[in-house]
Structure 1
């Protein structure tokens, strides 16, 4: 087998993810968030697939009888060249570490959502201005006593429109993909930060359309951020009203509204999704299952 080809799919998706971590996308925040979430998810899958693939083939050299009995043919290299321990041992260790991190993140995420759901629809007894979108059947919008004191009726509508956008578009799924990618691949933390910012901007634009006043939305975001002052953001992965990039969000709202990208957005998302999806499939050696010969 040719070793560089085995690692090529994961390497290509990682390069694309790193590029998107620093290069701004000239798209509406809704399409930026979709592209970033797809790249984050497929990169995590591609890297995990490569680790599993190399680890399994190394394990097969240690126990060939068990491999012949339990592993499908497409999961093996199909030649007589064994995986060296210098690659196989790290691959097995990183596979176990990735699985442990993914399970830990999933358990913590579920616990935080359940905790938030118990308070959804009620007023949090805190003087810190808080607004939080809580996903799920028992979810809703969680607000604090401090937020109700700071804002008037029109401004509160902005907050609820913003949080409703998070719920309507199921932004928690995007956040889960980004958090999983960043948790298992630290190099993707910046990409995850950009994804979170894009989701906030997406909800800002929805709120601005709903209330018909971009300046009001900008003013509300700034006012809540100032009121929170040093009582700054919680560690929750759920999107909060002033969670990230307040200054940039205000500046964007005071500028002209972004283009909807009704053609460019879907075309770019489809292209990126297809390309990274094929790379992720190749990393899992699904090409062999479908009778292809990519690797």
Structure 2
């Protein structure tokens, strides 16, 4: 029954790959939510499957200790896990744990550094605007950005960054980044998620200022003012600028008041069930066949 253990993670990963390369034509709000939900559940299903196999491999090596484990953590038919499967699963489980810890530490350090910079205007000629989450967060801008943009364009930037803060896009980005770190196959989905959150903020900025062309012009202006060398912090232009400008100059996307929630709920239930089944499918199938 071991082979069935990998089925939930395989299906969840397949869905993540499909959405990463061929996203559904939804409003950025629903695209971001769908991508984040799929990324998290696919990563959880994969990590859960690896942990499940690791625990059962340990039970194969130490059968006396296995008697003290809860029944749900073991294969339903007590199938021993062979070393060619158990050893890689154990190594990957340890690597996943290390990746999670390292990503959390790095993200915390980056946010702390950004908050220290946010106490004043960032002293650099690079055009930078960053949404900094948290109680002491806000919108960090650089001296270079203030020089490049006029009052109307600065309003666009602040509306854009405030949309990131209001909808807690840092959580979306952290989830996508962590999922991609745990499962490299989810990197296209992480890129899609990042693009969707930028488009979400673009659309909110366009609604706030009432001028889509102004938002598009501001994005292009900041991109052109930025040198080819990377900025020290994530900036207003850290995404696919051409696609964002083109989308703003086109017809506003439909808000999908019905199809968006339905697709998100359906995807959430499906991927959530797959993540939960990473520990339970073997038992369900064993009881069915027995």
CA distance in 2, matches of 1:147, 1:284: 50
Contact 1:39/1:272 (CA < 8 Å) preserved in 2? yes
Contact residue 287 and residue 293 of structure 1 kept, 8 A: no
Residue number in structure 2 paired with 1:66: 65
The corresponding residue for 1:209 is 207
Task: Give structure 2 stretches of 5+ with no counterpart.
Answer: none
Deviations 1:29-65 (A, max 9, x none): 0100000000000000000000000110000011122
Residue aligned with 2:218, SS:
helix
| Structure 2 counterpart of 1:253, from 248, 251, 257 | 248
Could you tell me whether the CA contact under 8 Å between 1:128 and 1:231 is conserved in 2? no
Residue in structure 2 matched with residue 90 of structure 1 by the alignment:
88
| 1:224-263 matched pairs, under 5 angstroms | 224-234=222-232, 240-263=235-258
- C-alpha change, 1:263 and 1:147, in structure 2 (3 Å) is same
Correspondence list, 1:152-167, <5 A:
152-167=150-165
Question: How far apart in 2 are the matches of 1:286 and 1:244?
Answer: 39
Size of the alignment, in residue pairs? Answer: 288
Return the match for 1:280 from 258, 275, 287: 275
- Secondary structure of 1:132's counterpart equals strand
For residue 117 of structure 1, report the CA deviation from its aligned partner: 1.1
RMSD, aligned CA: 1.8
Runs of 4+ residues deviating >6 angstroms: none
Shift of 1:122: 1.9
CA distance in 1, matches of 2:152, 2:146: 12
Contact kept in structure 2, 1:126 and 1:145, CA below 8 Å: yes
TM-score normalized by the length of structure 2 = 0.95
1:55 maps to 54
Gaps of at least 5 residues in structure 1 are none
How far 1:5 sits from its partner (Å)? 1.3
- Conserved in 2, the CA contact under 8 Å of 1:121 and 1:141? no
* SS of match in other structure, 2:75: coil
Aligned partner (choices 172, 175, 178) of residue 173 of structure 2:
175
- 8 Å CA contact retained: 1:121, 1:140: no
**Paired residues of 1:281 and 1:287 also in contact (CA < 8 A):** no
TM-score by length of 1: 0.94
